[in-house]
Homo-oligomer: A and B are copies of this chain.
Amino acid sequence: MIVLLRAGAGAEAARAVEAELARAGAGARRVTGGERLAVETAGPHAPLDDDARARLAALDGVEALLDAPDPNPRVRAARGPVEIASPRGPFAVGAGELTFAFGPCAVDDERELWLAAAAARAAGARLLRGGAFKPRTSPYAFQGHGAAALKALRRAADAHGLAVVSEATSEAALDAVAAECELVQLGARSMACTPLLRAAARAGRPLLLKRGFGATVDEWLAAAEYLLDGGAPGVILCERGIRTFEPGTRATLDVGGLALARLRTALPIFADPSHAAGTRALVAPLALAAAAAGADGLIVECAADAGRARSDGPQALALDELAPLARAAAAVARAARKEFEVCSRPWQIQSTPRSSASPR
């Protein structure tokens, strides 16, 4: 935002603007030219709310507040929880309680999948996760059992009263995944594949959009804008870690990015601590951190026997770890939210979109 001062307004007016911006959480930088002085916001900050804008506009010497249109108007305007169908009837994601999606990285042994589904159910999960089409770095790695895996997921989920979430890695896979799964995942590697986004938007199912590990929060929200613009009946965001120089974890779970997205949209946001951790011992701390930072749900990998898993065994929780993790995460989320409105209102979503950007 740029706070344009009236011609002739001087340093004192600029200082007052800078102070008001600081109170609103924004840094400031002066720009000058000819007889004009203005102050532009600098550094990270939430969109200024109506009160802050009114205070700025009322300051001596302020002529106008200049804003860029929001690049993602549908993401900004989106409201309320996302409803997901399930064998036991629909449930809402983002309505206050944490939602859990547990299951194996890739579907392989059906008996183990049923054990995982039973443990997920017992731990309070609403969703069974499992990979049918696996995007793998090497062409020689196990790529998933495809349609057969989807059928197995469906059977296990139906038997345990769970909805299914699984990834569609291509337009060709979308129909099959949408046919069997109540929630269709778009993975981190394909977040920027806009033709896939457009096709997924037409699949008729709510979508779980993972953030690309090389994508900024703004790019992630723009990918969600593709989905909403294309008619997706619901979009859930999912933070899963970004690429950084730190080699000790598989990715760096960006809880700040999650909280930043929360400031910009009311879409529900999940976190995937498993892929960020890369190893079992780090899954729980990351899951709880995400719950504390405001995640609406957690998608976590587990395995009946990590030693037999055909992908990502080292980061799979044991089945008996699911229930304690779910209890701890729920307790953390409750504790975080209880004090939150008093404390700093970070999750208060502005009710009026600032700009009248027309999406077309």
Tell me if B247 and A244 are in contact (CB < 8 A).
Answer: no
| A307 contact from B19, B46, B307, B327, Cβ within 8 A | B19
A193 to B188, CA, bound (A): 10
**With a CB–CB cut-off of 8 A, which chain B residues contact A328?**
335-336, 338-340, 343
Given contacts A286-B293, A321-B344, A336-B332, contact A214 B215 (CB under 8 A): yes
Interface string of A123-151 (1 = CB under 8 A from B): 00000000001011111100100000000
**With a CB–CB cut-off of 8 A, which chain B residues contact A80?**
none
Tell me if B225 and A243 are in contact (CB < 8 A).
Answer: no
Q: Which single residue of chain B is at the shortest CB-CB distance from A38?
A: B66
Tell me if B33 and A67 are in contact (CB < 8 A).
Answer: yes
**With a CB–CB cut-off of 8 A, which chain B residues contact A1?**
31
Tell me if B4 and A33 are in contact (CB < 8 A).
Answer: yes
Given contacts A138-B71, A293-B289, A339-B331, contact A245 B216 (CB under 8 A): yes
Interface-forming stretch among A92-100, A156-164, A202-210, A248-256?
A248-256
A231 to B298, CA, bound (A): 40
A155 contacts chain B at the CB level, 8 A cutoff:
no
Tell me if B31 and A137 are in contact (CB < 8 A).
Answer: no
A40 contacts chain B at the CB level, 8 A cutoff:
yes
A12 contacts chain B at the CB level, 8 A cutoff:
no
Tell me if B250 and A43 are in contact (CB < 8 A).
Answer: yes
Nearest-neighbour CB distance to chain B for A59, whole angstroms, equals 11
Q: Which single residue of chain B is at the shortest CB-CB distance from A195?
A: B170
Interface string of A259-272 (1 = CB under 8 A from B): 11011000000000
Given contacts A306-B23, A339-B324, contact A213 B216 (CB under 8 A): no
Give chain A's interface residue range (CB within 8 Å of chain B).
35 or more
**With a CB–CB cut-off of 8 A, which chain B residues contact A286?**
255-256, 259, 293
**With a CB–CB cut-off of 8 A, which chain B residues contact A32?**
66-67, 69
**With a CB–CB cut-off of 8 A, which chain B residues contact A189?**
192-194
**With a CB–CB cut-off of 8 A, which chain B residues contact A344?**
280-281, 283-284, 317, 321, 324-325
A285 contacts chain B at the CB level, 8 A cutoff:
yes
| A254 contact from B27, B252, B332, Cβ within 8 A | B252
A287 to B353, CA, bound (A): 28
Q: Which single residue of chain B is at the shortest CB-CB distance from A283?
A: B344
Tell me if B66 and A225 are in contact (CB < 8 A).
Answer: no
**With a CB–CB cut-off of 8 A, which chain B residues contact A335?**
328, 331-332, 334-335
Q: What are 18 A-B residue pairs whose CB atoms fall within 8 Å in the complex? A: A19-B308, A23-B306, A25-B314, A44-B250, A71-B138, A139-B222, A170-B193, A242-B244, A242-B252, A249-B260, A259-B282, A262-B285, A284-B343, A292-B292, A325-B339, A331-B335, A331-B336, A335-B335
Binding site for B on A (CB under 8 A): 1-2, 4, 18-27, 29-38, 40, 43-46, 63-69, 71-72, 133, 135-140, 143, 169-173, 189-190, 192-196, 212-219, 222, 225-226, 229-230, 241-260, 262-263, 276-286, 288-294, 305-309, 313-315, 317, 321, 324-325, 327-328, 331-332, 334-336, 338-340, 342-346, 359-360
New contact pairs (11) apart from A27-B278, A138-B222, A189-B193, CB-CB < 8 Å: A44-B248, A44-B250, A46-B282, A71-B140, A136-B194, A137-B218, A170-B195, A170-B196, A244-B244, A253-B255, A262-B285
